[in-house]
Amino acid sequence: MDRGDMGIKGSGGACGVCGGRTYVIERQGDRAHARICACSAECSVCGGRGHLLVQREETFSKKVGTRKYEVLAPCACTLRTKRVARYNEVGMPGVVAHAGFDNFRPAKPEQDRARSVAMHFAHHFDKAGPNKGFVLSGPVGTGKTHLLGATLAHLVLEVGVQARYVEISLLYATIRRGFQEGRSGGEIIGPLSEVEVLAIDELGKGRGSPFEMETLDELIARRYNAHRTTLFATNYSLAYERKNVRTVSGYHATEDTKHAVREAELLRERVGERIYSRLCEMCTFVELPKDTPDRRHARQEMESRTQPPPAGMRASR
């Protein structure tokens, strides 16, 4: 445990803005951005110096015995500043800036289990390692990215872990742009391979081209070989065998069948046996059922029912 795990929350008190955490996470453009709360902008412990004298006790020899001495140590405010800066390098999407374990609302028991797995991982993370990651599988809008955001926020800001977030198709696009700028894929993958915790969202998304498969394989292989912790979210099922897809009759049969086949695709088919085998060793699997409600749809429907119609559309009496 580093010194920052002791007393970082102290100066925040019962602030109504940060809730005593001493920092705030907000949406800034398309990214989640952390800042130190106004309640902790001025440190009452070190007076803004960023360090303080700490008394230590050590036995140097039997003849001399135990002696006490003072050393300069970073104040909690310095560690907090470093963690806030480190969080702003994670790359979390702005839409999950306010994501936490406490505001995750499960509609299914499987969602509650997903939260429990992510929360246990975050609160019991061992900085000495190794730590087993997790894979969250389920339909769109079921809170997978929310849980990734809550997990990384806790790890970086509360534990002091170095972490990064990537959406896999955007990573592919970044590497392609790098090629045009004369950069190699390894220059971009390198830092992602070495970070303590990496969250990969939308695993399995893409065209499945040789370039994409080789990139994904290299990234996961590097992290697997180095025993680094990786978290994943995917829309593809973790089931071992594909369920039979019946042909839909009628005018739209061909398109409907194609959609049904895509829906039934398995993650192991999308990423290949080599990568899938490593995921089985690296992670705990959590699958959300296909009928898990889309929270975005539910929110939109609720807003549609509660908001009054525009003034021009109201019926006159």
Confidence of residue 298 (pLDDT cuts 50, 70, 90): low
Q: Tell me the C-alpha distance between 13 and 166, whole Å.
A: 34
CATH number of the 89-299 domain? 3.40.50.300
pLDDT, tens only, 13-35: 578 999 989 999 999 999 999 99
What residues does each domain of the chain span? 3-81, 89-299
The answer to whether the CB of 133 falls within 8 A of the CB of 232 is yes
Q: Tell me the C-alpha distance between 50 and 35, whole Å.
A: 17
Q: Tell me the C-alpha distance between 119 and 124, whole Å.
A: 8
Of 231, 228, 233, 262, the residue nearest 245 (C-alpha): 262
**pLDDT for the residue 56:** 78
| Residue 214 vs residues 56, 185, 219, 272, 313: alpha-carbon distances, Å | 52, 10, 9, 11, 55
Burial call 19-55: b when 16+ CB within 10 Å, e when fewer = ebbbbbbeeeeebbbbebbebbeebeebeeeeebeee
Confidence of residue 249 (pLDDT cuts 50, 70, 90): very low
Confidence of residue 175 (pLDDT cuts 50, 70, 90): very high
**pLDDT for the residue 242:** 60
Model confidence pTM above 0.95:
no
Decide if pLDDT at 46 tops 90. no
SS3 content of the chain, % helix, strand, coil (to 5): 45, 20, 40
Lowest average pLDDT, out of 72-76, 209-213, 260-264, goes to 260-264
Confidence of residue 195 (pLDDT cuts 50, 70, 90): very high
Confidence of residue 259 (pLDDT cuts 50, 70, 90): very low
At residue 53, the 3 state secondary structure works out as: strand
